[in-house]
Structure 1
């Protein structure tokens, strides 16, 4: 379903594409999705190196320029630190009990095919096609952005105060991989939740702290949320059935979904947090 939706939106975002898929968690284990511009060299020995650092065997599964490491859940931060410190050409795209993130430069249908999106399975997924406006066309600049466990964000719009927020968050110890304003939004939400806010509370606070125009879709382990800025100048449409909830920036992204003809189709209100959990 997601591969079909991404394919429909190719002309809206032809520069790059990405997606997060939430699978079934395995007790005591977590997943770390990594990427490298030189994967053959970078991933050779990576599992053994990480396993030696955390003191246990680590599994690795390659998908093109990406790989997914399966590690002990209680050593997740140690794994991230080891990769950053010892494997400079490897970038962590996301980590958590359920999430896997894949993104790449190129036409969205080709990106989806490279990673085998149509054959993946999970409880929910979030995808994005990008026409770059705020930063260069790069793999790391593609959406989704993930800065917290099992959390990711895609963004349609532009933030005007992201550089100020970036400096504030960096002073608090948050590390950034790109110049993209959307990564700052993801990090902002992670920081708010780290201070005890729920995702809904963090999104509500973002209405005061994030200046610009935006539609956010935020994925978590158990579901996803949607927020539009108070002006809501970017298009957005939702569809609900007994089987699924789907979001798109245009209705045509949803038009081929099964049962769409009987779905409740509606436009989310400005400055209103919506959230669905499985």
Structure 2
């Protein structure tokens, strides 16, 4: 079933409230996916800072101070429930290599210049408290609550999936031909961290972006290649995008004002956003890619 919630803030005066608003949205989506949850936060100063890159990973079982020492280069480690975030002045790709060298087998859940990805197993309300989500601030957030139907309930299988710099994807639905596409991507040298079909979608989008396509085109190509039923919310550092399959049987609703744009699986996730009474509210059309940029 799963629940999706996302918010892009356009009015800078609302940035300090990003975590508060996203916490309320996540709470309303909890019944749609009570076994695990996750968030992707853009610009949260608890994890990111100007001139520094970030890498998020599932808890590797190494104390924070020891991990920082192993990574070197003045790395800082911030714990957030079942996830930890490492930040450093070196580039994201270089930082990820340093972490993988320091902790072989580490499951990296996100990387970029401005992104922290926090996820884990448990009820979404409990995880929100572990993440101290209400204290977050920033310009954009994406969240997901999962009811596992196609793979095991593990932190690796929780959403969001972030497999390229500053890219996040959450998914409600099921891809029918994900195994075939997984084999094709593996043949191209792509490695996977979970059995979740949503990760296949994320890595397909990342591969298309690496080829030089923009996010709009990458999602159109996904619609051409993937069978099944799905609603996707995909974000990059400056873009917020929504797409549904040709049947559009999974619920999705978008609300937009001058101050923000939000998307969720149900209206109740949006009902307490400031200014919702004057928002433009609509259901995304099948196979139409909607994008918003700051």
TM (normalized to structure 2)?
0.88
Supply the RMSD in Å over aligned alpha carbons.
1.5
CA contact (8 A) 1:36 1:89 kept: no
The residue aligned with 1:162 is 178
Q: Which runs of 5+ in 1 are unaligned?
A: none
- Indicate yes or no: 2:49 matched with 1:29: no
Deviations 1:35-77 (A, max 9, x none): 1263xx35451111111xxxx2111112233221112343x22
SS in 1 for 2:230: strand
CA contact (8 A) 1:42 1:87 kept: no
Measure the CA separation in 2 of the matches of 1:7 and 1:136: 23
CA contact (8 A) 1:94 1:101 kept: yes
1:10 deviation in Å? Answer: 1.2
- Taking the TM superposition and a 5 Å limit, the aligned residue runs for 1:91-130 are 91-130=107-146
The residue aligned with 1:47 is 68
1:23 deviation in Å? Answer: 0.4
The residue aligned with 1:12 is 32
Larger RCO (CA within 8 A; separation ≥ 6): 2
Measure the CA separation in 2 of the matches of 1:193 and 1:12: 30
1:81 deviation in Å? Answer: 2.6
Deviations 1:230-262 (A, max 9, x none): 111111101011111110111111112121111
CA contact (8 A) 2:60 2:103 kept: no
SS in 1 for 2:38: strand
Measure the CA separation in 1 of the matches of 2:239 and 2:261: 10
Count, aligned residues: 271
CA contact (8 A) 2:83 2:120 kept: no
SS in 2 for 1:234: coil
CA contact (8 A) 1:32 1:92 kept: yes
Which of 28-37 and 222-231 deviates more? 28-37
The residue aligned with 1:59 is 76
TM (normalized to structure 1)?
0.93
The residue aligned with 2:87 is 70
SS in 1 for 2:189: coil
Moved >6 Å (runs of 4+): none
CA contact (8 A) 1:17 1:130 kept: yes
Measure the CA separation in 1 of the matches of 2:263 and 2:60: 31
Measure the CA separation in 1 of the matches of 2:64 and 2:273: 37
Q: Which runs of 5+ in 2 are unaligned?
A: 1-20
Pairing partner for 1:258 from 262, 266, 274: 274
